[in-house]
A and B are shown apart, each in its own frame.
Chain A
Amino acid sequence: MEGSTIIFYMLALLSLLSAVLAVTTRQIFRAAIYLLFSLIGIAGLYFWLQYEFIAAVQIVIYVGGIVVLIIFSIFLTQATGEKLPKQKYGSQLFAVLAAFCGFTVTVLQLFKYSFKQTDLPHVEPTVSNIGNMMLGLTENGYALPFEVVSILLLAAMVGCIVIALKNKSLKKV
């Protein structure tokens, strides 16, 4: 057995186990930390697949940005040390059943299907290749979606500021 196989299964175990703990633990701060480990495990899988740029983006944006944002909002809205209320047994059973059935159907279909690989020459996912294609204007270029996403990010930023502004008429009441 090779070392890379062991590393793959360890990363998979890390991300799946901490994902399960993140959705089942009743302490919300711990859930955020387990989510952090799950995202790090997925970043490790990207490294394992040799997509280093995507792994770096994953760590910078998810681990460094979104999880920190979530932890901040937990501090702002949650009493520390308080457990979340227990779920109803029936609704939990229903959720387990729904998730498990969906998982089984998808996996059965997945292993029945045989994928075909192309024989065309490989393009290495280096940073220069990604940059040239992302801002390229040829038929494989992604300049237009790039601009659309930049507009979306700007709109989200303005929207956040508008939503988070203190409403003066509410304050007087």
Chain B
Amino acid sequence: MIQPGLYQILFISTALFFIGIYGFFTRRNLITILMSVELVLNSVNLNFIAFNKYLWPNRLDGVFFTIFIIAIAAAEAATAIAIIINLYRSHQSIDVENAEEMKY
């Protein structure tokens, strides 16, 4: 088996990113779409940490980017779930087809 290094971690994060993209394309339920977005954000975090560890160990920039992305992801999830619950109250369903009225 190959010794794990930067390329192996980048391969994992690429695979996670496109798994998230696949879920984003196929799902029709807003909560599952939110889960796919979380997967994409996690793959980006893994990328930043891997680059920080293997290429620029003299700085901690990747760590800070990861921390800020996690904070923004938490804010995004909270806001999205507030919108989803509000949508459920008015439509009794959370499919994306019902969300198109939100643009008015």
Chain A interface residues toward B at CB < 8 A: 1, 4-5, 8-9, 12, 15-16, 19-20, 22-24, 28, 31-32, 35, 38-39, 42, 45-46, 49-51, 53-54, 57-58, 61-62, 65-66, 69-70, 72-74, 76-78, 84-85, 87, 91-92, 94-96, 98-100, 102-103, 106-107, 110-111, 115-118, 120-123, 125, 129-130, 133-134, 140, 142, 145, 149, 152-153, 156-157, 159-160, 163-164, 170
Contacts and interface: CB of A to CB of B under 8 A. Distances in A.
Contacts of A31: 32, 35
B104 interface: no
A15 B35 contact: no
Interface size class of B (residues with CB under 8 A): 35 or more
Interface string B23-36: 10111110110111
B67 A54 contact: yes
A150 to B, nearest CB: 9
The 7 closest A-B pairs by CB, nearest first: A23-B23, A95-B25, A156-B75, A120-B58, A99-B22, A103-B18, A160-B82
A145 B10 contact: no
28 contacts: A5-B3, A19-B20, A22-B39, A23-B36, A35-B35, A39-B38, A42-B42, A46-B49, A49-B53, A51-B53, A61-B71, A66-B38, A69-B78, A70-B34, A70-B35, A73-B81, A76-B85, A77-B85, A84-B32, A98-B21, A106-B14, A111-B7, A115-B6, A129-B60, A130-B64, A149-B72, A160-B78, A160-B82
Contacts of A70: 31, 34-35, 77, 81
Nearest to B16: A19
A78 B81 CA distance: 13
Contacts, number: 212
Contacts of B84: 73, 77
